[in-house]
Structure 1
Amino acid sequence: MNGQVNETTRPSRKMGFTELKQWLRHRHPMVYLDRITDYEPGKYLDSLMAVSGQTDAISGHFPERAVFPASHMMQAISQSAIILYQLSTAKLEDDEITLIGSLKSRFTRVVVPGDVIKFRTSIETQHTNFITFSCSAEVDEKPVAKVRGTLLRSKVADLGEQLW
């Protein structure tokens, strides 16, 4: 087989909801991703989120015409980047946290209950304690968002006095 990995022999690079939660500090109702469908450390992560009318964010946004808030989609994108960053380096230690350093985003379509958002998150540059990443989001193969950002890994103690 000339050294190439056959798709049928490649180890699974998928994660269900229970496994992906192990890579996040977030808990209900702040875990937005439902599944990781593929990834390659240091390169990309494909994830998805099924938008439900029962999602906490939908109940008040807006009662007469349910729309999934872009700010919550940003959180799902950030979670994809956090998981990709850890898969590409190492899991966060108990005394570490990830912080979004900057974001540039564009939202092109409204997302509503019943939509399944597919995210493709890619690392653009990787350094010791931060990455730059990009993410495209689609519903039914139509773009709904594009994001570029930075994600920083930091010791909690380095952030100064903790008031939480």
Structure 2
Amino acid sequence: MVDLPIYLNFTFAFLATVGFAVYFSAPKVSLIPSGIIGGLGWLLYIFLFKWNDNAVISTFFAAGFVAFLGEVLARKLKNPATVFTIPGILPLAPGVGIYNTMLYMVQKEFELGFSKGVDTLSISAAIALGILVVTSITNTYNILNRRRLLKKLELIHGPFNINKKDS
């Protein structure tokens, strides 16, 4: 990893995230927030990687952080969470690992290629799991909140069925 100043790391991750958001045709309102999420996720990854020297754990927590911010902004800006989360995780994607895996395989250095490939797949799985955990917790929280609200409404207005259609 190249040791760039923090502001350059944030700037490059911000620009990459905004670029992917534009490519994915995200709403214009979400471009700057998506870039900020991507930049903050990348900074968290760098901090965690310098702290524990484990790319998989660092990626897991950074992806979870990006997913959490995406869920929060989805409610604030009235857009789907994927508008913020998908571009935000792209700076975490293991592009160099994929490239090096293929390079080692082409050069017939199969042991190095297999090792790098396992590392790359582990990082990719950490991204997916980080998003999955946060999204699952958020959805569970929303379901419980909805149930709590329905029970409160039943206490005030009496029992009712929201699934029943009026004829």
Structure 1 length normalisation: TM-score?
A: 0.30
More strand by share: 1
Larger Rg: 2
More helix by share: 2
